[in-house]
Amino acid sequence: MGLLPRRPNRIASVSVVLAVVALVGTVRGADEFLPMLPEGQRWELFWQDEFNGDEIDPSKWDVMGDWKRRDGFWVKEDAYLDGQGHLILRTKKDGDRYTCGAVRTRGKFEHRYGYWVCRCKFPTQPGHWPAFWLYTDTVGRVGDEGRDGTEIDIMEKPWREDRITQNLHWDGYGQDHRHVGTTFTVPGLSKGFHTFGLYWTPEEYVFYVNGQETWRTSAGGVSQVPQYMKLTEEIGKWGGDIAEANLPDHFVVDYVRVYNVVDEP
């Protein structure tokens, strides 16, 4: 697809355990968790997809494939709507190869700052993993740290247990590659729906799981450029042995929303 591959094997995350109750995400509309803002400001819903209907909206999403990706293939048929308000990214065995689904908003919705949130339910089998992340094609540039584009991994879950990782990558993926990240446990994370959010300002990133802050950082100088969303499945050894998986398996996304900060009228 012309994008440089990510390198999860280079992650040297510091693990922490969150002493929080794992809330099954039930928020919608006015009940959505939103970070606190200073007096005189409010959140305004700017972009959303509730995945209603029978087909992925082509004005919002580019369905990725068909091409090689890591130890498998991204193919278009593995990204679809279930007709019940969900995006499905399927992982399956197809003959002698393994395939999975991926979508992105590249060229359709690219934005900077605000609060980005996804509500989803995880697959259960080894050998693959889901991710919700932001990207821009300038991540490969070297010289201005992450200000000219940062890979922002709001959620990756390569483990079957209740752990996820959140990461930043900038200055490409070669010898100048820079990275910071965190890995932590949320009890009950592997069952039911949960929300994963990012509050991105010009000064810092603040990450959330189920409305609980999990990580705050300004590493890389903070991206100052518009970026697009990606919802992906990945097949590779970071997620375990795909040969042991009972396939097909499914990453289920309920919604994605993006909010802007605006002044009170």
pLDDT attached to residue 29: 52
Using alpha carbons, select from 218, 213, 197, 101 the residue that is nearest to residue 150. 218
pLDDT at 151: 98
State pTM to two decimals: 0.90
pLDDT at 31: 78
Q: Output the pLDDT for position 30.
A: 54
Q: How many helices (H) and strands (E) does the chain have?
A: 0, 19
Total Cβ atoms within 10 A of residue 174: 10
Which helix (H) or strand (E) is 261 found in, with range?
strand 249-263
211 half-sphere exposure, CB direction, 13 A CA radius? 14
Give me the residues of the chain with pLDDT under 70, please: 1-30
Delineate the domains of the chain, giving CATH numbers in brackets: 41-263 (2.60.120.200)
Residue written as tokens 């042995």? 241
pLDDT computed for residue 3 by the predictor = 37
pLDDT at res. 108? 98
